[in-house]
């Protein structure tokens, strides 16, 4: 945009500046240029060299200490976004600054998943503080981590507990699963069908805990028996969909002998279409299995794991902390709300104060100019607009300060190359749906 404003010393400082964001090369990521993360990295940095034999799992856009974005503007004295925010607190706006202690409250990511992530959940604020105090090497901060995943491609994941009726059906059809859950827990689950939700929750906790706490030798033995049985049925041309046979074989190939393979019989299996989302509040068990997504969360890296991983696992904590509420898979979807003023804008607004995500679509050009479609995340905090773009770039539209009009018109900025449009006229401190269009 090229606009500047005067700083305290009278020197021009940019209102918009680009950031270089951190790539995490976790083992579960897609390899090389097959990864959307790698392609975003290459598109945003002409000097980037993609290694085709290395995974590119996550692109972090934010100021978390494990992935603080670097500032790419030589006019800015600070080197990272976190440093800049610490010295420019007004950029957050007074409400965000006071509520979140002067820190950027969210972290935005792009994920490219090739192999399954761990069976996991994220702690609430109280538990996060406790875990960080007890084991900071495993729980690196004291913040909670509600998060939302929005599919960019077909995206498969596990999320929340299945209806108990479905779990009981699997206990009947998969004897290896029933063996590990145990007779007492199996009976409790079956009997809970005729009782209230509290009895169901108690039965779920008992059954899931018995499964996850099974001895390793028994898990390996039962998993090998199940894999052999399913493989024989597949070879014979039989349909094994009723016991999630193909998924079981896939997970066993990725994590042989892992108890997490059996978790598919407790947790809902979701396949999101592009644009569909699931919201993961505190204590909800989940695992991402395959595909590309954008993910937004509170600014935290706290995860409690119990399977499908080589990282630190904490089964007792996970089983104790979980929300044992069962629901159909369709209830785990989190639909966006389409703007009434603009059919090309959709807002994913979860019931947390830390973040919201907006999807912006541009259907066609105007006046012969090709338009570029952008995924973006907008936070409007008092006098500040934060803009996250799905091209591997992150921009801070800094505080307008004294120059921000009392009632800003819906066309916030219009130039030959870029337009910013809100869905309404807004005053300082209001929220708005913001559209971003680039003319190429």
- The residues assigned a catalytic role are 305
Tell how strand 286-298 and strand 155-161 pair up: antiparallel
User: How many residues would you count in the chain?
Assistant: 440
Structure tokens at 378: 């907008």
CA distances from 44 to 65, 104, 169, 321, 395 (A): 22, 23, 49, 40, 12
SS (H, E, C) 366-428: ECCECEECCEEEEEEECCEEEEEECCCCEEEECCCHHHCCCEECCEEEECCCEEEEECCCEEC
Q: How far apart are CA 229 and CA 251, in angstroms?
A: 15
Structure tokens at 416: 């030959």
- Whether 145 and 300 have beta carbons less than 8 Å apart is answered as yes
- Whether 372 and 440 have beta carbons less than 8 Å apart is answered as yes
In what helix (H) or strand (E) does residue 337 lie, and over which residues does it extend? strand 337-338
Structure tokens at 408: 């800003």
């Amino acid at each position: 945009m090229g606009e500047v404003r005067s700083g305290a010393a009278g020197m021009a400082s940019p209102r918009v500046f680009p950031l270089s964001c951190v790539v995490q090369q976790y083992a579960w990521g897609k390899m090389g240029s097959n990864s959307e993360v790698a392609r975003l990295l290459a598109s945003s940095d002409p000097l980037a060299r993609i290694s085709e034999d290395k995974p590119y799992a996550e692109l972090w856009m934010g100021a978390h200490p494990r992935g603080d974005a670097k500032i790419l503007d030589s006019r800015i004295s600070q080197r990272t976004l976190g440093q800049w925010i610490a010295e420019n607190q007004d950029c957050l706006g007074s409400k965000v600054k006071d509520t979140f202690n002067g820190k950027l409250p969210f972290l935005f990511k792009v994920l490219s998943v090739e192999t399954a992530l761990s069976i996991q959940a994220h702690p609430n604020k109280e538990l996060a503080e406790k875990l960080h105090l007890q084991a900071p090497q495993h729980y690196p901060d004291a913040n909670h981590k509600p998060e939302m995943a929005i599919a960019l491609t077909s995206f498969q994941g596990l999320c929340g507990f299945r209806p108990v009726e479905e779990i009981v059906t699997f206990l009947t059809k998969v004897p290896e699963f029933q063996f590990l859950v145990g007779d007492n827990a199996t009976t409790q689950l079956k009997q809970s069908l005729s009782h209230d939700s509290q009895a169901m929750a108690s039965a779920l906790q008992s059954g899931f805990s018995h499964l996850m706490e099974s001895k390793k030798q028994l898990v390996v033995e039962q998993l090998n028996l199940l894999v052999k049985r399913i493989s024989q049925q597949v070879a014979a041309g039989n349909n094994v969909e009723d016991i999630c046979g193909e998924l079981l074989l896939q997970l066993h190939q990725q994590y042989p002998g892992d108890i997490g393979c059996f978790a598919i019989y407790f947790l809902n299996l979701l396949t999101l279409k592009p644009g569909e989302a699931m919201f993961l509040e505190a204590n909800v068990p989940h695992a991402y299995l395959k595909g590309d997504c954008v993910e937004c969360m509170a600014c935290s890296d706290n995860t409690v794991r119990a399977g499908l991983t080589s990282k630190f696992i904490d089964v007792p904590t996970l089983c104790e902390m979980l929300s044992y509420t069962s629901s159909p898979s369709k209830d785990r979807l989190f639909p966006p709300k389409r703007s009434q003023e603009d059919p090309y804008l959709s807002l994913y607004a979860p019931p947390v104060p830390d973040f919201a995500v907006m999807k912006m679509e541009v259907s066609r050009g105007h006046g012969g100019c090709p338009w570029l479609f952008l995924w973006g995340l907008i936070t409007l905090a008092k006098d500040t607009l934060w803009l996250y773009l799905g091209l591997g770039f992150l921009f801070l539209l800094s505080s307008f300060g004294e120059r921000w009009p009392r009632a800003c018109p819906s066309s916030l900025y219009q130039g030959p190359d870029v337009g910013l449009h809100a869905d309404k006229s807004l005053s300082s401190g209001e929220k708005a749906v913001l559209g971003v269009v680039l003319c190429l």
